Structure 1
């Protein structure tokens, strides 16, 4: 079996670290496993329907397991199938492994004879939303927990709909994409735009409204400072409930990616959320304003397998004055290109109540 270059599902690595297995030239297979020992409050996913409770746990856990199959049908069409496996935490089946689909789509790469719009791709089905797949290629610590936006339950990474992606202008130099960071293929700009049901890949459609979302990323100094990227992102639509509260959001993002280190800063301002949780208790059609920011940094110690990283989040829901602050940090030991060990801690404060989390994470990506 030959190894080919392919994006990992949930924790995308640098361009020279992409993994996957070609099975008999018929289908391409890859996977990501997140296994941890966790002591602290229970991990809660953005798409869970149960109320958030600061329940303390101390146990070995399977956080997530992703299994992906890809098949190129011809030069234009390909398909992807990704299973999301986790532990069921509700009802009589609590403790069993729960399986659901995360991605199931047809990808087409139309032949467009243009020097302006290049690398165009269209996903139809259960598809990537435009933001989190991009961010997770810079902050590769999804194994610890969700990114800032998903952690605060604004939206998740996939949905039913259509996504169009591509570059504006030529492709970035291959050397930079391989040795520094391959998150954005376009030398000057890239984009992702789509229309979705709005409730995420695990949510049934509860109204007839759709959400439009988009990202534009630019390298303002592509020739002199290609490490710098600036992004803007938006959501516009309704929250996924029968009351259809507003769900509007804007996000600004700055990233500087070097081979040895990377830093990011993002600022979010919006009304409501994808699952219509941030609403007035007495009038669920009235969405609540919310805003926040997040900073992330990672430093790799030369050619050694060690790195250090940290993150700071702050998020506020107006009217109910709910404030959340998180300080996250850890050390990483890279066993090889498929295995990482991550020792991390998290200090979370919600409305003055604090909880500390300690973890040893094992990430396996192949």
Structure 2
């Protein structure tokens, strides 16, 4: 399996050896170094309807809080038309009980990578990256789903995949807008943990746009994803996802199916999980109003089939008419999680929230 993934990485820039002689009148690319600074902010007010929590007086209350869940500072740029970079810190809540910063929001590194653009040798938008970077599946899906500011996508929210990890990857766009391929070798412990052993994770995503030439079905894409990793020499960490998405000026929609295997140690049992998620974001014309409808289901361990996690999300959003390079949205939503087959039983977790997105 490792050899297969390494082969994928080697063939991604296959067109690099077929550079053609520039035609007459060719204008050379601009190699002037440049950079820009942007930001991404997720903020919200959340009211927890259930379960209730106890305050310091032992009274049962409905917990509520104002939160900032993301505060990117994006520094991106180009050294020339071949070399690009990105540096992005993000916030996290300090939870170390012995730290003077306990409870504070602190910055940590989310992305830091160098990128070799392959546009001169193969299709536009193809590249190689080295550093802490986006993983192949989560970032791709968030670009279609667009509601990461409400909460993570299914496979990320349930802890099976992460949006970022340290590694080396390559991306190649198919000619004719028929899709793309993204494959990489990663530490496998995600951006928020250090590497723990000599094992590396191999991730690959392929997406096919079967009807790219126009019409209603141009927005249809079929995607397959695989992640092969080991948390220890004889452990196992495998994820396989199949996805169908559709993008249209009046609606985006998607459905994905997950199968996962986890085995921490040679002496540990293998845990098989499966689940699926379906969502749609119908738009009300060009008014900026949009609905969010989503349902997730997870069976964390097939050997305990009575255990299930079911999440329902429904919301109404307003997307402000965008300026160039700016995204702003407000979302009022309902988020409910039901967990069954657990002893002792746990109540349904239900939140109401108002979320805000600012991105530039």
Q: TM-score, normalised by structure 2?
A: 0.79
Cα shift at 1:245: 2.2
Q: CA deviation at 1:105?
A: 0.3
Structure 1 residue matching 2:152: 3-state secondary structure: coil
| Alignment correspondent of 1:297 | 280
SS at match of 1:301: coil
Distance in 2, Cα, partners of 1:344 & 1:284: 44
CA distance in 2, matches of 1:100, 1:244: 31
> For the Cα contact (< 8 Å) 1:128–1:163, is it kept in 2?
no
Alpha-carbon distance between aligned partners in 2 of 1:252 and 1:101, rounded to the nearest angstrom: 30
Aligned position for 1:358:
352
1:348 is aligned to 337
How far did residue 222 of structure 1 move?
A: 2.3
| Paired residues, number | 304
Compute the TM-score of the two structures, normalised by the length of structure 1. Answer: 0.78
Shift of 1:360: 0.5
* Residue ranges of structure 2 left out of the alignment (5+ in a row): 1-31, 51-60, 342-346
Secondary structure of the residue aligned to 2:126 is strand
Per the alignment, residue 33 of structure 1 pairs with 41
Q: Would you say 1:314 and 2:314 are equivalent positions?
A: no
Contact 1:244 1:285 in 2 (8 A): no
Stretches of structure 1 that go unaligned for 5 or more consecutive residues are: 1-23, 43-54, 171-186
Q: Contact between 2:169 and 2:183, CA under 8 Å: does it hold in 1? A: yes
Question: 1:104: how far off?
Answer: 0.4
Which stretches of structure 1, 4 residues or more, deviate above 3 A after TM superposition? 111-114, 283-287
Equivalent in the alignment of 1:88: 94
Q: How far 1:326 sits from its partner (Å)?
A: 0.2
Secondary structure of 1:358's counterpart equals strand
Equivalent residue number for residue 245 of structure 2: 255
RMSD: 2.3
Residue 39 (structure 1) shift: 1.6
C-alpha distance in 1 between matches for 2:152 and 2:234 = 26
* Contact 1:300 1:306 (8 Å CA) reproduced: yes
Given the superposition, is the C-alpha separation of residues 234 and 357 from structure 1 closer, same or farther in structure 2, using an over 3 Å criterion? same
Question: Cα deviations across residues 171-200 of structure 1 (Å, max 9, x unaligned)?
Answer: xxxxxxxxxxxxxxxx11201000001000
Report the secondary structure of 2:63's partner residue: strand
Which protein has the bigger helix share? Answer: 2
Among 81, 94, 106, the alignment partner of 2:114 is 106
